[in-house]
A and B are shown apart, each in its own frame.
Chain A
C-alpha cells in the first residue's frame, strides 16, 4: 500500500488536517473520511456529474479530483451550501417545480446551477439547458430542472431591480 500524504483542506469553512492515500479521490475523502454523504458517485469516470463539488470557487468533478489536489484548498459541498443558505432559493425552486425525482443527481445539479446563476445571470432557457448538460438526470427529463433554474434567474434579477 502506498504511503499516506498529509493534507490540510478547508471543507465548508472548517479546516481539516488528514492523511490520505494518493489515489483517494476527493469524493471518497469527503464521504469516507469526513462523513459528508451528500456528494454522490454515479460513474467515477467524470461523466455523470453527481459528484460535482466546489474547489476554490469553481465546480469540479469530485471523482476526477484527487484529495491531495485539494491540499491547501477550499471545498464547498452541498452540506455547506445548505447550511449557509446561499442557494436556498434554488433548493426551494427545485422542490416547488419537482425538479428532482430520486434525488441522486440533485446535489451535483445544484452545484452546477449555482455556478450558472453566478456566471450567467442573464442566461436564456437554451443556455440553461446547455449549462446543465454535464449533469445526468435519468428521472426528470430535465424540463422541471430547467424551469426551476429559470425561476431563480428571474427572481434574482427582480431582486436586483
Chain B
C-alpha cells in the first residue's frame, strides 16, 4: 500500500513576497522586489509573438543543408547539377564556394594555456568530422522546393575511421581527427594546492566514486533560426536572429566577412528558448549569411528537429574519477579528481569548448572550507557533435561530483547528510574569501540557506516518514545539493582570453514628451522576464508608473553595446545599467523642472509621474507637462539651458572575476525497486541571488532550471553507437521532462546583496540546473541505502537502477 504523505499543495499565490525586506534602491520604490507580472507577454498568450520563422521578407529564399551522414568522411566529389535543375532552386553551394566569402575560424582562448583547435569552415571542405556537419547548401524559392532538391545533391564520400570513444581518444592507435594538431587533445589543466596524497593517507575515511555524465543538449522549443539579408545596393547586412548575443554576432560577421561592424545590423525579436544553445556561432549560421551575400537577397534558415539534435551544441559528456577525504568528526579535508570530457571535433566558436571542463575544475568542492584539492582535466576531440556552454556550464557536473562524495563520506562515517554540510560549508561570516581552487567569493550565505531549508522541508519529520515507509517496503530517499553559481561575470570570462564578448552593458532611457519613458538595452529577452525587471527598475529609478515604461531590446542599431544574455548576467549587469541610467535621467528631469519652475533643484523630486516638492510632497508639474515644454517650447527656456532627457549609462562588474551566488536544494524521491522507476515527490530550494527583483520571476527561473537539471539527471542523453551515429535524434526518442513526472517545487529566498553594484542583484538563471542533478542522484542513492548499492551514472535510468540492484545484467 502506498501513501502520499507529502502534501502537494499548489505553490504560493502570485504577489506573495517571501523575501526579507532590503533597503530600497530608490526614493519611492514600488516595483523592485515585488512579483509584478511581466508586461508585454499578453501578446504571447494570443499567438501574436514574432519568432524567427514568423518573419517574412519580400524575395526571401530558403536554405536547407546536406549534412554528413556519418561521423567522419572524406568528400571526394560534390555534384550539384541535378539539384540545380530542380524547380525553384537558386543556388547550390559547397564548402569551397563559401570559403571564398567567409573566413575560417579557430576557437581558442588565450587564457586557457595550450588550448588548440582546428580551422573550421561554414561548410565542410574536404572532410566532415561529425554526423550532422553541414556539407552542401541548397537555396530555393521555398523551403519545400529546397528540400525536394536536397535529394538530388550527389556527394561522393568515403568513410574515414572515427574517434568516438573519449576514453581512447588519446591512445596512439586512435585515428587523429586533425593530424596537424598532433593529437586529439584540445586542452589539459592540472591544479594541485599541495599535500593531497599526504592528506588522503592520513584521513580517517576516503570515499571514491567513478562518475559518468551522459551528453545532453538544450532542445529549445524554437529551433535555431535566422534570416540573413545582404543588401548589395547599400552594402548592408541585416540578420534577424534567434540568439542571445546580438552584438557578439555583429562582431563575428564583421570579422568573418570582412565588413565594418557598422554595416551590420542584428535583430532579435521573440526568441523561443535559448539556454545557451543560441549563444554560439554555428557553421550553418555563417553559411546562411554567406549565401545571402552570394545571392544578394534574404535567405532564411530554420533548423528542423532532426538537424537540431545533431547540429545544436551538446554538453556535459564527462567521465570523472573523484575522491574525498574526511575525518570521523565529519571534517572534510580535501577533494581529488580527474575529469575526462569529449567535446566533438572542433572547439565551438567563439566561447570555446574547454570552458565547461575548466569550470568543473574551478567548482568541485566550492561550497566547503577544506584546504586540499587536486584536479586534472583532459578535454579531448571526438567525432561527435561539438559540445559547448549550456545552462549551468560545468556547475551540474561539479555539484554532482562534490555532493555525491559528501553524501558517501557521510554515509561511511555514519553522519547525517545535512549535518555534514552544516559543519563544512564556508561560514557566512568568513567573506570575502577564496575557495581552495582559487575562486574569489564575495559573500555567500550557506549557513543561513541550510537553516532555512531544514525548516521549509520539515527535515526531521520527513526522515521519520522515510523510516516508517521503509519498514513497509517503500523506498524513499532524501538528497541534498549545496550549490554555488558564478554570475555577473567580469571580462575575466572571455575578454581577457581575446574573445570579443562584451562583459559590460549599457542602458539608454529617454523621457518621451507625454511623460512615458523608453529603455533601450543590449541584454535581450528569451523568456526569463528580463524586459519585465527592466521595466520595474526603470519605473522606480525614474519615478513613473510601470505602465509608462517601454523596453526595447534585441537590435544592434538601436540599443547600447552589450554582451547579451549569458552567465546569469541579465539582472545583475543589465539591471544595474538600467538603474544607473534611470537615476541619471531623474537628475536631469529635476534640472529641467528647476529651470521651468525657477526654483532650486535640491528641493525637487520625481514621484509617480510628477515633479514634486520633496519636503511637502506637493505635486508641482506632471512629467507630461515637463516633456511638452522641453520638447516643443524650447523658446520658453533660458538660452543657456538645453534639456537632456535621454541618458545612457554603462556598467561592468569589475570587483571580482564573478559574483558567486549560493543555494541549497533537496529532492524527495521514491524508487520502485521492482521496476527501477523513480518518482519525484517533491523538491525544495533555498537560493540567494542577492536582491530579488521579482520573486515570482526568480521562482520561475529556479523551477524551470531545476526541471532542466532533472532532465539531465533522469532522462536526457544523446545516445551514440560505436561508429558515432546518434541513435535518438528526435523528440520522440530523446526524453525530456514532461509535466506528469515533475514534482512541485518549493522555492525560498535568502537575500545577500552584492556590494559590487547599487542594485545588489546577482544572477538566478542557472543555479537550479546546477543543483538538481546532484540532489536527485543523492536522493535515489539514499533510497537505495538498504540495498547497499549506488548509482553514479547520469541519466539514472530504470535500467541503471535495476543493474545497481543486481536485477538485470
Query: Which of A's residues lie within 8 Å of B, judged by CB?
Result: 1, 21, 23, 31, 36-45, 47-48, 50, 77-79, 82, 91, 94-98, 100-107, 110, 125-126, 128-130, 132-147, 150
Contacts and interface: CB of A to CB of B under 8 A. Distances in A.
B101 interface: no
5 contacts: A43-B305, A98-B696, A103-B41, A103-B270, A141-B742
Interface stretch (B505-513, B612-620, B648-656, B730-738): B730-738
Interface string B201-242: 000000000000000001111110000000000000000000
Interface in B518-572: 526-529
A143 B46 contact: no
B221 A42 contact: yes
Interface in B54-93: 54, 87
B739 A145 contact: yes
Contact of A102 (B219, B270, B737): B270
A141 B10 contact: no
B41 A95 contact: yes
A27 to B, nearest CB: 11
B49 interface: yes
Given A78-B46, A78-B47, A104-B222, A138 B273 contact: yes
Given A1-B87, A79-B48, A145-B739, 17 more contacts: A31-B53, A37-B47, A40-B222, A40-B272, A47-B732, A50-B221, A79-B47, A100-B41, A101-B527, A101-B528, A103-B49, A129-B740, A133-B740, A135-B739, A138-B273, A142-B738, A144-B11
B803 interface: no
A22 to B, nearest CB: 12
A150 B51 CA distance: 28
B47 A107 contact: yes
B791 interface: no
Contacts of B222: 40, 42, 102, 104
Interface stretch (B192-200, B481-489, B597-605, B704-712): B704-712
Q: Chain B contact residues (Cβ within 8 angstroms of A): what range?
A: 35 or more
B703 A103 contact: no
A125 B144 CA distance: 42
A141 B707 contact: yes
Contacts of B730: 43, 45, 47
A48 B54 CA distance: 18
B45 interface: yes
Nearest to A104: B272
A72 B273 CA distance: 36
B141 interface: no
Contacts of A36: 47
Nearest to B87: A1
Contact of A140 (B37, B275, B704, B738): B704
Interface of B: 8, 10-11, 14, 37-38, 41-42, 44-51, 53-54, 87, 144, 148, 218-223, 270-275, 304-305, 526-529, 696-697, 700, 703-708, 730-732, 736-742, 744-745
Contacts of A38: 46-49
B51 A44 contact: no
Given A98-B14, A105-B221, A44 B45 contact: no
B41 A132 contact: no
Nearest to B43: A103
Across the A-B interface, give the 9 residue pairs with the lowest CB-CB distance, nearest first: A38-B47, A101-B527, A103-B44, A104-B272, A102-B527, A78-B47, A141-B707, A141-B703, A142-B739
A100 B527 contact: yes
A129 B742 contact: yes
A135 B742 CA distance: 13
A132 B741 CA distance: 11
A48 B738 CA distance: 10
B224 to A, nearest CB: 12
Main secondary structure of the interface of B (DSSP, over half): loop
Nearest to B526: A102
A143 B47 contact: no
Nearest to B711: A138
Given A44-B304, A47-B732, A95-B42, A146 B739 contact: yes
Contact of B38 (A44, A78, A98): A98
Which of B221, B274, B697 has most chain A Cβ within 10 Å?
B221
Nearest to B12: A147
Contact of B275 (A1, A95, A138): A138
B748 to A, nearest CB: 15
Which of A39, A138, A140 has most chain B Cβ within 10 Å?
A138
A133 B738 contact: yes
B646 to A, nearest CB: 30
B744 A139 contact: no
A32 to B, nearest CB: 9
A161 to B, nearest CB: 20
Contact of A44 (B50, B305, B705): B305
B220 A138 contact: yes
Contacts of B44: 100, 103, 106
B505 to A, nearest CB: 21
Given A42-B305, A50-B221, A98 B700 contact: yes
A63 to B, nearest CB: 10
Which of B46, B47, B528 has most chain A Cβ within 10 Å?
B47
A50 B14 CA distance: 26
Contacts of A37: 47, 50-51, 54
B671 to A, nearest CB: 20
B221 A48 contact: yes
A80 B42 CA distance: 15
Given A125-B10, A141-B703, A95 B45 contact: yes
A76 B14 CA distance: 31
A77 B47 contact: yes
B46 A82 contact: yes
Which of B48, B275, B696 has most chain A Cβ within 10 Å?
B48
A142 B707 contact: yes
Contacts of B705: 141
Contacts of B41: 95, 100, 103
A92 to B, nearest CB: 8
A120 B557 CA distance: 50
B10 A95 contact: no
A45 B272 contact: no
Nearest to A94: B45
Contacts of B304: 44
Contact of B14 (A39, A47, A48, A96): A96
Contacts of B732: 45, 47
A93 B276 CA distance: 29
A106 B45 contact: yes
Nearest to A124: B8
B292 to A, nearest CB: 21
A84 to B, nearest CB: 12
Contacts of A40: 51, 53, 221-222, 272
Contacts of B87: 1
Given A47-B732, A79-B46, A110-B45, A103 B272 contact: yes
B322 to A, nearest CB: 29
Contacts of B528: 101
A104 B221 contact: yes
Contacts of A105: 221
Nearest to B45: A91
Contacts of A146: 10, 739
Contacts of A125: 8, 10
A129 B736 contact: no
A98 B697 contact: yes
Nearest to B145: A1
Contacts of A133: 738-741
